[in-house]
Amino acid sequence: MSTKLMNFDNLISFSFYFLTLCCFVSVVESRKLGFNSSLFQEVNGDNDGDDSIVYIWPLPSKYTYGNNTISINHDLSLEISGNGGYSIIVSEGFQRYREIIFKHHSRKKSGVLYDVNKLKIIVNSDNETLNLNVDESYSLFITAENGSSIIQGASIEANTVFGALRGLETFGQLCSFDYGTKSVQVYKAPWYIQDEPKFVFRGLLLDTSRHFLPIDVIKQVIESMSYAKLNVLHWHIIDEQSFPLEVPSHPYLWKGSYTKFERYTVEDAYDIVDFAKMRGINVMAEIDVPGHAESWGRGYPELWPSETCREPLDVTKNFTFDVVSSILADMRKIFPFELFHLGGDEVNTDCWSSTPHVKQWLQEHNMTTKDAYQYFVLRAQEIAISKNWTPVNWEETYNSFKGNLNPRTVVHNWLGPGVCPKAAADGFRCIYSNQGVWYLDHLDVPWEDVYKSEPLEGISDGSHKKLVLGGEVCMWGETADSSDVQQTIWPRAAAAAERMWSSRDMTSARNMSSTVLPRLEYFRCLLNRRGVPAAPVNSYYARRPPVGPGSCYLQ
């Protein structure tokens, strides 16, 4: 992002003046990390560890810190200003983090003076539109209110409410409960952080067709996404196995749900979108056409080419496209995000050519089945664009007929590396989800491989880099349900989250076991403390429980 925070030049000048004057700052700014520390020593307060490790995940763009410890008042209050400071997104966000930070109850001590009694949040814009390019940058300053600094206390400044939310997350991670004093403290103060994401699209796919996930579970996933500063929930609602979503214009479609108890009403979908927005997370919905759509025909059998050819959908009938159009019209009322996923992957057209009426239609239109596949995808794209959506399609559409794709298409990579460089060279925007490293249902992929992956791999041209929107880790649901979905997502999704948020220069380290691993282990335990059942970092297979007793930080 090129947008700078208002008053940033003055703020950073004050900050560095004060920190330099006090002669105790350790500056860590836009450089490679080279730590050699023991996490177990760090969390136990052993000063023999390397103090240069910063336990913020994902790592901020720029930061400085000192060597003081300051206390935070249990009755921390909020002071707001700026055009957007009075937003309910800010006030409710502050309340959520206040409950996280002060989870431990302790008796109030009379006469105790705290270093920080209020958090100032300044939001410059009152625009609460959450879109792809929303400004998520923020600055955070934490020092004692009674110190000698020109800027005193704790403050977050952001251009938007969503930048303020990211600042609140960082503030929350810096606050630690001290069991000796039974108070919340911030170590290594004073802190100055200026932060913004590397990519505008930092996603997680959640599959609710292979296994139905209750609303509360989806919300738990969204909440945990905010802790890692992910900002797009790719909701893969429907697939060949089940159609759980209510579509008012075609009320029999959700006859394709597993049972009548495993469905999402229109109101449920609105609720999820609203819940996500309050956490700065967009919801990108998907209907996968023309393949992966067998469940559609349980309510409307005429969508099937025949009883023995249940997918792809029947390309010959206008009714098929009328249904697609109606679904998109109903969903457009619910999902305001400008991107909509139309799938288009794994389309096996063999049964088209063996179904008499489809075969005849192909002959009449002088089409092969490959031509018909293209025809279906392009017609679906036109429908989506007519409803003011930008279409996203899996990479098979690009691989098969890139010359005819709508130029607004966002190509979603998944089959392997090398697609985004080609798509960007052809002028398409791209999302990276290489299945070899970023498919979370591949349980044998270790966190290191997730972390080392790079959406910009193979791209050197600056203009092409700008076309890579970011990336997405995919939680396909064939072998995950409410009992284990969070353990499968975390902590490996966090490894990708830092890759998508933080500068490569900030996080490229020769020895990840002594630099990145302690931080990821700490973040996993932070998730556990916040109620997220993240699995041990070093499990040979993801989501497996610990092999024996021990500290969370050493699993």
Active site residues: 346
Phi, psi of 192 (to 5 degrees): -130, 125
Q: 10 Å Cβ neighbour count for 417?
A: 15
**Sign of torsion over alpha carbons 311, 395, 393, 205:** positive
Distances in whole angstroms, Cα of residue 151 to Cα of each of 15, 111, 113, 141, 145: 7, 25, 19, 8, 8
Polymer length of the chain: 555
Omega before 546 cis (within 30°)? no
CA end-to-end span of the chain, whole Å? 37
Q: Alpha-carbon distance 57 to 515, whole Å?
A: 13
Torsion of CA 509, 57, 133, 220, to 10 degrees: 140
Q: Tell me, what DSSP letter sits at residue 303? A: G
Q: 10 Å Cβ neighbour count for 180?
A: 7
- Could you write out the DSSP letters of every residue in 327-355? HHHHHHTT---SEEE----S---HHHHTS
Q: Tell me, what DSSP letter sits at residue 424? A: H
Distances in whole angstroms, Cα of residue 410 to Cα of each of 38, 118, 129, 413: 43, 44, 21, 10
Q: Tell me, what DSSP letter sits at residue 304? A: S
SS3 468: strand
Q: Alpha-carbon distance 68 to 231, whole Å?
A: 33
Cβ(479)–Cβ(438) below 8 Å:
no
Q: Which residues pair with 306 in a beta bridge?
A: 309
Q: Which residues pair with 283 in a beta bridge?
A: 233
In terms of DSSP H, where are the helices of 414-490? 419-425, 435-438, 447-452, 462-465, 485-489
Q: Alpha-carbon distance 370 to 352, whole Å?
A: 10
Q: Alpha-carbon distance 440 to 308, whole Å?
A: 33
Q: Which residues pair with 157 in a beta bridge?
A: 122, 139
